[in-house]
Amino acid sequence: MATYTVGQIPYAGALTRSKVLQNARCYSVSHLSVQERIEQKRKAALTGGGQLRIAAQHKRGKLTARERLELLLDPDSFVEYDMFVEHRCSDFGMEADHNKYPGDSVVTGQGRINGRLVYVFSQDFTVFGGSLSGAHAQKICKIMDQAMMVGAPVIGLNDSGGARIQEGVESLAGYADIFLRNVMASGVVPQISLIMGPCAGGAVYSPALTDFTFMVKDTSYLFITGPDVVKSVTNEDVTQEELGGAKTHTTVSGVAHRAFENDIDALLNLRNFFNFLPLSNKDPAPVTECHDPRDRLVPGLDTIVPFESTKAYDMLDIVHGVLDEREFFEIMPNYAKNIVVGFARMNGRTVGIVGNQPKVASGCLDINSSVKGARFVRFCDAFNIPIITFVDVPGFLPGTAQEYGGIIRHGAKLLYAFAEATVPKITVITRKAYGGAYDVMSSKHLRGDVNYAWPSAEVAVMGAKGAVQIIFRGKENQAEAEAEYVEKFANPFPAAVRGFVDDIIQPSTTRKRICRDLEVLASKKQTNPWKKHANIPL
Amino acid sequence: MQLLSVSLYDRIQMRSWTFDKILIANRGEIACRVIKTCKKMGIKTVAVHSDVDSSAVHVKMADEAVCVGPAPTNKSYLNMDAIMNAIKQTGAQAVHPGYGFLSENKEFAKRLAAEGVSFIGPDTHAIQAMGDKIESKLIAKAAKVNTIPGYDGVVKDAEEAVKIAGEIGYPVMIKASAGGGGKGMRIAWNDEETREGFRFSSQEAASSFGDDRLLIEKFIDNPRHIEIQVLADKHGNALWLNERECSIQRRNQKVVEEAPSTFLDPDTRRAMGEQAVSLAKAVKYSSAGTVEFLVDSKKNFYFLEMNTRLQVEHPITECITGLDLVQQMIRIAMGYKLQHKQSDIPINGWAIESRVYAEDPYKSFGLPSIGRLSQYQEPLDLHNVRVDSGIEEGSDISIYYDPMISKLVTYGKTREEALKKMEEALDNYVIRGVTHNIPLLREIIVHPRFVSGDISTKFLPEVYPDGFKGHMLTAGERRELLATAAALYVAAQLRSQKFLGDLRVSVVPAESRQWELCVELDKGLHMLGVSRSGNNYTVEIDGEKVEVSGEWNLASALLPLTINGKHRTLQCLLRTAAGEITLQYLGTSFKLRVLSKLAASLSKHMPEKVPEDTSSILRSPMPGSVVAVSVKPGDNVAEGQEICVIEAMKMQNSMTAAKAAKVKSVHCKAGDTVGEGDLLVELE
């Protein structure tokens, strides 16, 4: 293990030292040659697959593994591990010296992001296309093991052609070793994958097991099998981009949580994102210096909910208004847009935001939005991040597509996630909270700590029209009955008189109230019954 | 909204009889403005509003509010039946019409009179007489008011037009008698153009107003637009309250006004004032009114028209005279005599008004934009600043109404002082969520021609012949801007390393007092060295040092700074994790990108991306049914304007234009069922 400054080639300190050593050559030949070999190996490790391959990497619009780490981590903070590790394959000519690269096809170690500890690995596409050898996997496993012992997040920068085919089962074993650690680390330390090149075949399951998968637009791909295999098996013509590009995974499949413009953009955003996360499940949600007054009123919220309950508005307007500095790191902004999830701060403290989005599909819950919400809620709960839920939900989306797709099973995930969560849970009903969806959305009944209703809230089994058609089926005076139903239920009182909401608040005071509650709830302790693990309806 | 207490010495006479309740038949800032004075006078107020305005500021300010119909103005604010009902329902004794809408509608004034409700404005006779271009000119001439040389009657045919034009002398203007807004209006420089102009104008007048009567008058080239405020009571007394200079216009709409005018000498002012008063007396005018004049470079002035209502720009007259015009209008409507004599009317100091609009000044000096005011903060903590507005944070600027955000008025002992204050006020005005015209306003008030008073109604096209392009940075300003962006970047970086509370694993912040940064502005790259001591940053750019210091409150919309010893207020409109920083500096917003030296050196490897232009294509974002299509091919739409409405899950979703453009084709109609991603409308 050695402290090294990334990217400084040649390493100035090392050169001077080797000069001194050269002068001493006549005294101890063997010692000198070791020193020289150390310097040589280090130099080789720092250049990876060589200048030609580096140039090719740049030409693809991609940075090298080391350049990426340099951008991701604080200056001079990277501590590299296993620079001397080489692959151990002796078949197909791999044993030849020119086929050995010190450090092999991955750079690993630990460093700091804004001063906070993080373990990292960065796959080096210039060495055997970043393919995963036994040694490569072993290096990743080493830092993951240590990250779990220390309690610090793991960030993987993926850029790999896949398994090292020459190594056969050794490579497969390597993947499995990583998968196992991904699973063991899950819920212990945050794990983030940033896909910065190809990631195909079995390799995709490591990012899939981590908490967040981000992609770089146009230069990264994730798929089980590439377009050629797809063509031969299913006779489909599809491009790499269509099959597994950033757009596909952030809008259609929901595999990736966000995509960024290019390597630099992605790494700078990742630094920003890292600041929201605690180091491990033993740490509280981080609190940073906040310039936004915690008791700031948000006058715009008093008029945001339209009078007609069928008219849409943008839930993000509410979310932005309430948060510190309007800063919201949205997760999956282009997938299942009828629910909004993401990270933000309230009075400097990280919070998770969940909100129905009336602007898209009326903010209903469907299969995709339930799964999106559920996974986010579980992450927050695992890592001590309080959850703030904004509710305006007309119900679950009806229809055969949803029923056949298993909305019952998938909707249950969100219900399950909110119910099992023991972190502080604050809920604000802005307008509709109808039917089963009301129960699901972090209701009082699922151990919501503080549940608020705005004056525009309507907590009911369903909308007035539908309710009246059932209650007064076949009767005349439907309009009158509807008015009566509206009078009775289309307001926050039925829930408030029963204590299902703790207070009816002026919308403009929402930020102030939440900041105050978060302070009180910071010491919340709640445990679920002992179990080996729960059985979420997957 | 805040009234300038310093300049309003109009005292309320509490003992006198007054109306109990006034209904304001208007919306927005003017409704709020009238309500303010009513409150001051102890009069109860009734607001009327359309359904989309039900939580508008004027509704909240009024004691009572009545909904008079749906959003379109012809169904609400112009809906006389509904407004008459509102009057009956609330028992209002008088109506203040504001400006626009029903303010110069004689029919409305008649109906009020029939119901015994006072109209706070002139009587129907004056409205009618001044509303017709030919009639008003005849009356003006009779009252010995200078009128534009021209033919007093209706022109019969093209040949007569040529004959008259020859008598008046070219250039001439041919315009519709019933006209307005530039429709049916042509300028001719010779006989041929006169014949042609006559033909076009009569066609346009017939189709626009159903009245093809035309008149001809001398065309005043390069004139100023200066108007006189008059105040007259029902007892034959009238006063002139000095002039307002309103020459800065775009498409015949005023942008910046001031009072007094730099151009008038006391004699001309008096001559104009006296003629305005004599016209008011000639039509037995009562209430506040405005006589508009065109003034040529030799200070010849010609009557243009009389507006029989409160003008938008009335606040600047209030500032320099100290009179509350709304209060005077109410008193006059109650039948009181004027309180003041002509000799009581002062010109105290100087007042400037900027009309702040939700529009994009980079397109034809202003194309409307709409949206929600996500953040909104008026510069009211500054002294001698008055803001008349009818909106607040969270308000929607919709397509249904005038896109004016507010009237920003500054006042000073001298013009220079008022202009300096205007700079400061514009810099401190926070408007987010809609595109606004502050960049243009901020440029106009510092332009050497404006500052020296060398203006005419052609000011904007003359100064910006290729359109408005925003503030052009000098080398020194450029350095200030780059330095500010760099300092802001470092301040944000430093804060992101500050974690509070007990930490299990210690934070090891990168120790640095020096930063090497690369800042990109307008595709130019600048290497900067930044060093910091406390809140003071020293930024070195091309061998020159810029000192920037401030509080660096990263949550505040305003960024008050001291740059090289000068006080400047900038605004940070955007700051992203990837180093993008958008700053509003000297009114214009500039996009910058700040990167570490390392990131900048690696940027060259990043692939060039051609942004996909999706703004011309509107696709359905969800499956649903089309409820309404609001456009047809060939229509011009504003950015954010509704194009169609899709209903999904019994919810109506408004699809809007991503840019201002002409509609190329429409691929859906009301009643259609559409799937997600279906093409709805294409724009050009």
The model's pLDDT over B482-502, given as tens digits with 9 standing for 90+, comes to 999 999 999 999 999 999 988
Q: Check CB contact under 8 Å for B609 and A291.
A: no
Instruction: Find chain A residues with C-beta within 8 A of B553's C-beta.
Output: 291
Interchain pair A115, B499: CB under 8 A: yes
- pLDDT at position B166, please? 87
**Structure token pair of residue A172:** 């497969």
Q: Choose, out of A268, A365, A369, the residue to mutate when testing the contact with B (most B CBs < 10 Å).
A: A268
pTM (2 d.p.): 0.88
Pairing of strands B367-368, B359-360: antiparallel
Closest Cβ–Cβ partner in A116, A275, A288 for B500: A288
Average pLDDT over residues B462-491: 96
Q: How many residues would you count in chain B?
A: 684
Residue A107's H or E segment, with its range, is: strand A106-113
Alpha-carbon distance of B84 to B391, in angstroms, equals 26
Predicted pLDDT of residue B67? 96
Mean pLDDT of B610-636: 80
For residue range B417-443, what is the model confidence (pLDDT) as tens digits? 999 999 999 999 999 999 999 999 999
Residue B509: phi and psi, rounded to 5, are: -70, 150
Element containing residue B21 per DSSP (H, E): strand B21-24
To test the contact with chain B by mutation, choose from A68, A76, A116, A247 the residue with the greatest count of B C-beta atoms within 10 A, namely A116
Active site residue A436: yes
Handedness of CA B346, B347, B349, B350 (dihedral sign): positive
Rounded-to-integer distance, Cα B31 and Cα A267, Å:
52
Residues of chain B found within 8 Å of residue A456, distances taken between Cβ atoms: none
pLDDT for B575: 95
Which residues lie below 8 Å from residue A535, measured CB to CB, with a gap of 6+? none
Residues 373 to 392 of B: which have CB under 8 A from any A CB?
A: 373-376, 392
Do the Cβ atoms of B554 and A291 come within 8 Å? yes
* Chains A, B: CB pairs < 8 Å: 160
User: Which residue out of B33, B111, B309, B479 is catalytically annotated?
Assistant: B309
* Whole-number Cα distances in Å, B643 to B78, B139, B509, B636, B659: 24, 47, 52, 11, 11
In angstroms, the Cα distances linking B620 to A252, A357, A365, B634, B647 are 16, 17, 20, 21, 11
Unique residue bearing structure tokens 């008029």:
A303
3-class secondary-structure state, position A21:
helix
- Kindly indicate the confidence band of residue B6, based on its pLDDT and cuts at 50, 70 and 90: very low
| Percent of chain B with pLDDT strictly greater than 70 | 95
Q: What is the pLDDT of residue B137?
A: 87
d(CA A500, CA B421): 53
Determine whether A205 is exposed, middle or buried from the number of CB atoms within 10 Å of its CB (0-12, 13-18, 19+). middle
CA distance readout (Å), B146 to B136, B180, B241, B294: 12, 21, 19, 10
pLDDT tens per residue, range B26-47? 999 999 999 999 999 999 999 9
Question: pLDDT band at residue B622, thresholds of 50, 70 and 90?
Answer: low
Distance CA B596, CA B460 (A): 41
How confident is residue B623, by pLDDT bands cut at 50, 70 and 90?
low
Inter-CA distances, A280 with A148, A151, A189, A208, B115, Å: 8, 5, 4, 19, 76
**C-alpha dist (Å) from residue B594 to A71, A531, B600, B603:** 14, 51, 9, 12
Active-site residue, from A49, A161, A162, A201: A201
CA dist A180 and A164 (Å) reads 19
User: Rounded mean pLDDT of B368-389?
Assistant: 93
Digit-coded pLDDT (tens) for B515-553: 999 999 998 999 999 999 999 999 999 899 999 999 999
Asked if omega into A358 is within 30° of 0 (cis), the reply is no
- Partner-chain contact A311 B651, CB within 8 Å: yes
- Which residue, among A66, A314, A362, A397, would best test binding to B if mutated, counting the most B CBs under 10 Å from its CB? A362
φ/ψ region of B222 (left if φ > 0, alpha if ψ in -120 to 50, else beta) reads left
For residue B673, the model assigns a pLDDT of 79
- Residue A445 has a pLDDT of 97
ipTM greater than 0.95: no
Q: How far apart are CA A519 and CA B556, in angstroms?
A: 23
Tokens representing residue B331 in the block? 């008193």
Minimum CA–CA partner of A329 in chain B = B577
Q: What is the pLDDT of residue A26?
A: 46
Question: Distance between CA B259 and CA B256 in Å, rounded?
Answer: 11
Q: Pick B343 or B217 by higher pLDDT.
A: B343
pLDDT for position B82: 96
Q: What 3 state SS string does A389-414 have?
A: EEEEECCECCCHHHHHHCHHHHHHHH
Residue B196: which pLDDT band, with cuts at 50, 70 and 90?
Answer: confident
Amino acid B650: pLDDT: 52
Instruction: Report the DSSP pairing between strands B679-683 and B617-619.
Output: antiparallel
Those residues with Cβ within 8 angstroms of residue A522's Cβ, 6 or more apart along the chain or in another chain: A284, A349, A424
Judge contact between B173 and B187, C-beta under 8 A.
Answer: yes
Give the confidence band of B646 by pLDDT, cuts at 50, 70, 90.
confident
The confidence score (pLDDT) of residue A122 equals 98
- Which pLDDT does position A17 carry in this prediction? 43
| A202 has catalytic annotation | yes
Which stretches of chain A score pLDDT less than 70? 1-32
- Output the pLDDT for position A2: 44
For residue A437, the chain B residues in CB contact (below 8 A) are none
Q: How far apart are CA A32 and CA A25, in angstroms?
A: 6
Q: Is B628 on the interface with A (CB under 8 A)?
A: no
Using alpha carbons only, how large is chain B's radius of gyration in Å?
A: 28
Phi, psi of A178 (to 5 degrees): -70, -45
Closest partner CB to B606 (pick from A264, A272, A326)? A264
Residue from the list A63, A268, A362 with its beta carbon closest to the beta carbon of B579: A268
**Interface residue B512 vs chain A (CB under 8 A):** yes
Separation of alpha carbons A523 and A517, rounded Å: 11
Tell me, what's the pLDDT at A154? 98
Chain B partners within 8 Å of A314 (Cβ): 372
